Amino acid sequence: MTSLTVTTKTPADLPVDALVIGSVRTDDGPDLAAGHGLPRKAVVHLQAVLADLEASAATGDVHRVVAVPGVKATSVVVTGLGPGSTRTTAFDHVALRDAAGAALRSVRTKARVAVALPTPDVDRLGAVSDGAFAGVYQYDKATSRGTARAAKTPAPFAGPTITVVSGAGSGKEARDVVARSATLGAARDWARDLVNTPPNVLFPQSFADAVKKKVADSPARITVTVLDEKALAKGGFGGIVGVGQGSVNPPRIVTMRYAPSGAKASVALVGKGITFDSGGLNLKPSTGMVTMKCDMAGAAAVAASVLAAAELGLPVAVTGYLCLAENLPSGTAQRPSDVVVMRDGTSVEILDTDAEGRMVLGDGICLASEKKPDWIVDIATLTGAQVVALGADVAGVMGNDDAFRASVVAAADAAGEGAWAMPLPAAMRAKLDTPTADIAHKGDRDGGMLTAAIFLREFVGEGIPWAHLDIAGPAFNSKGATGATPKGGTGFGVSTLVGLVEQHARG
């Protein structure tokens, strides 16, 4: 498994397979960024190579140079940081993450890598460490090898040992920041693995089994409970039962509880976990199903966040609710015009079986509210309207408390995950009125992201601050890898949620 360590040794003296340094775009062309610690002859050599290669120094501009004079590393990887000067060390955290991620992706098969990007303080040290760990990620794809042949095949490379050269010293604070990046990175990689797993392999019960195994293998003290389809029906979870009734793989709600001794705060995370979304009887077009294995990315983010919070030993009780179902058409599938009763007794008219995520989340939010946590955050690949409004890289954040919503956006900004606060106009509640039930589960097309959140708000317990993250765009990258973001499942939300819990712990 990829590991992270920190050092203050001179980068040129590190006997590694690859040494990562930064480049900047100046008025005179590309040049080396501060923090590289290389001797003059190495700098002159690299400057000449960059000029000859017409390097841009932009994010994603990565060049690997071998046999650099005065450097013990086998090769030097120069990664772009964008515009700047050769003296500045005050680079944006996102630029540092992306530069480190792009560089490590190019050398992730190497055994030992050192990273010497500008890290004048522990915050930037954390950004570089986080990006470096994220860039190594690769999903171990399924193969057609038989069991006997697979047994003779070497195990996939476990990832490099990454040494981050710190300009902020190597004291406890620096070591703790780097260790946090490793813990958070490993949890985020697990979320990515879950999202990338084929839907015939990951369905509600196997998802629950994967969580139990992960927790069993972790030193963290987390309690896992699973409500099966009988318990869900008996408990009045009409939303998730209705969504899952068309599949041979019945629904589950998995609860992960981390409750450290002496915790004086308690928070809840609720994740949408549709392991495959065909749209149900309101069938999606075939092209709309191609990435629908990612419709459980919210639940994956919650599972990984609870795991990370526990492994970091945060002094806050964190409970995660994974609302897992498979949305398929069949003779038993839910119909438009059906009315179901949610966990809290609210009756809901179903208008579109492809708007299923809010139904499983509604039940999960009800369950979370019963424990009266300090706050609730739900996270979901909920609406195509989010992508229309904010694009593929920025999540929408809505809530019932402006101050809490702002704190969620701030946590996302600190984590380097794009997020934007969105309103919940009171007048839009009327779009969910229906003569058939207490509420309809969907409004018209206009403002679809907002009416989905307005629906979810109905199930939040009185007086509990709540925020909703719609991650339909940033949860899955259908294009090529870029910066610290891989192709496929991105693990979006894990860093934000863990940062939010840490923020709550600090008061």
Q: Across 8-123, where does the E strand assignment appear? A: 18-26, 29-32, 62-66, 75-83, 112-116
Q: Is 288 exposed, middle or buried (0-12, 13-18, 19+ CB in 10 A)?
A: middle
- Calculated CA dihedral for residues 176, 181, 183, 184, nearest 10 degrees: 130
351 vs 239: CA distance, rounded Å: 13
Q: Can 487 be counted among the known catalytic residues?
A: no
Whether the CA torsion 122, 123, 124, 125 is positive or negative: it is positive
Cα of first residue to Cα of last residue in the chain, in angstroms, is: 34
Which residue in the list 124, 180, 358, 405 is annotated as catalytic?
358
Residue 253 β-bridge partners: 227, 323
Going by the DSSP 8-state scheme, the letter that residue 154 receives in this structure is: P
* Phi, psi for 86 (deg, rounded to 5): -75, -5
CB 298 within 8 A of CB 468: no
Q: Can 358 be counted among the known catalytic residues?
A: yes
Which residue in the list 175, 284, 429, 431 is annotated as catalytic?
284
For residue 113, give the nearest of 77, 160, 64 by alpha carbon: 160
CB 179 within 8 A of CB 172: no
354 vs 358: CA distance, rounded Å: 10
Q: SS3 string of 301-359?
A: HHHHHHHHHHHCCCCCEEEEEEEEEEECCCCCCCCCCCEEECCCCCEEECCCCCCCHHH
Angle, helices 297-311/204-217, rounded to nearest 10 degrees: 10
> What are the start-end ranges of the H helices in 160-281?
172-196, 204-217, 229-234, 238-244
* Phi, psi for 108 (deg, rounded to 5): -70, -15
**Pairing verdict, β 488-489 and 476-477:** antiparallel
358 vs 383: CA distance, rounded Å: 9
459 vs 371: CA distance, rounded Å: 13
Buried b (16+ CB within 10 A) or exposed e, 309-335: bbbbebbbbbbbbbbbbbbbbeeebbe
Q: Which are the catalytic amino acids?
A: 284, 358
